Amino acid sequence: MNTATIRRSPIVLIRNFIFIEVLAFLLYFLVTGHGSYKSEFYNQLFLSDFISYDTAKLFFLSGAQLLITIYAFFSWYYELYEIRPGMVSHSRGVFWKRKKNFPLEKSMTVTFSSGPVGKSLHYGSIHLESRHYSSIVLATISRPQGYLRIIEKNIDPNMQSFVEKPDISQLASQEEHEQLEFKSSLRFDRRMNQLNRELEKAAMKTVAAFLNSKGGYLVIGMDDSKKPLGLRDDYETLQRKDGDGLENHFTQTFNAMIGPEFRHLVKLWFYEMEGLDVCVVQVAPSSRPVYLKLNDSERFYVRTGNITTDLKFSEVEAYTRSHWSRR
């Protein structure tokens, strides 16, 4: 598949430079104002014995101009879009680096826009919108039509759109098996009556195992006897005490322990059973191996029957070779 690293159009560099220049100009006159007090203040400094006020002013303005030019250039230079199989990344920041990943799924909408000036100077923007994830815009890039084709080539055919909501009653009628597991909560320990992050790790082990196997369903808020217990206790441990808060926390934990590049393979569905909320985590099989970051190490989990199994490193190579060679 084709990959690409894209910088924004040089028009953005020029626009940023003009904006910073105007802002600095206004700020300079706002701070210094009018009158001769600036030269009077400068004449009290020891530098006035060596450099005249007009010369010092020239050096100051030239230095400020240089810093503005350098900052405008590096803010443009360090802003990148990366297109790779199954993913688009947006990186930016001169002093504080920020990065956002966007999965390329089959169900996403790809649109292109360009104004009259953009058409004449051959730049425009590509809009990627998904029903399941936040949108991203490849803004003001040169010759975007060529990158549209690269994006299309990097859409992962194995990515699931999850358009069909699982039947919770059908899941609840089954015993745990290779593609189904029940957990009473995500992070609240009902026996200890307190938050227990080990439960989060156990949930992520199951999700990672589903990713490395045939996919599956993790039902949260229901015990092994299929009795709904609800998610209220989990909600109370979160800043936002509802399903959205639980999903946000799940995503943060998933990204930290498994990786945001696999988040598109997981969908959370919420149901009400007997007046209680229940969550079904639907997991699609991954097209490549998934490792779980656990206690400063990486572990590899698979499903064997209704059990999540931690493979030894001597077993991982043989499993990955046999499992993914069949795809």
Mean pLDDT for the chain?
85
pLDDT digits (tens, 9 = 90+) for 25-67: 787 777 665 555 666 666 667 666 677 767 777 787 788 888 8
Write down the pLDDT at residue 206. 96
Contact 166, 217 (CB under 8 A): yes
Average pLDDT of span 3-14: 90
Give the rounded percent of residues in the chain with a pLDDT score beyond 90: 37
Reading the block at residue 61, the tokens are 């303005």
**The token pair that represents 293 in the structure block:** 């970051």
Q: How many residues would you count in the chain?
A: 327
Each residue of 244-279: b (16+ CB within 10 Å) or e?
eebbebbeebbeebbebbbbbbbbbbbbebeeebbb
**Which CATH number among 3.30.70.3190, 3.40.50.10490, 3.30.950.30, 2.60.120.620 corresponds to the domain 168-325?**
3.30.950.30
Which is more confidently placed, 237 or 314? 237
Whether 290 contacts 212, CB under 8 Å = yes
Q: pTM score, two decimals? A: 0.55
What tokens appear for 133 in the block? Answer: 């994830």
Kindly state the tokens that stand for 152.
Answer: 């299309």
| Amino acid making up residue 158 | N
Strand-pair partners of 271? 278
Mean pLDDT across the stretch 307-316? 90
User: Going by DSSP bridges, is the β-strand pair 216-220/180-183 parallel, antiparallel, or unpaired?
Assistant: parallel
Give 177-223 pLDDT, tens digit per residue: 999 999 999 999 988 889 999 999 999 999 999 999 988 999 999 98
At 116-164, the pLDDT tens digits run 888 888 898 988 877 656 678 899 999 888 888 788 778 765 555 555 6
User: With contact defined as beta carbons under 8 Å apart, do 216 and 210 qualify?
Assistant: yes
Q: Spell out the domain ranges in the chain.
A: 1-159, 168-325
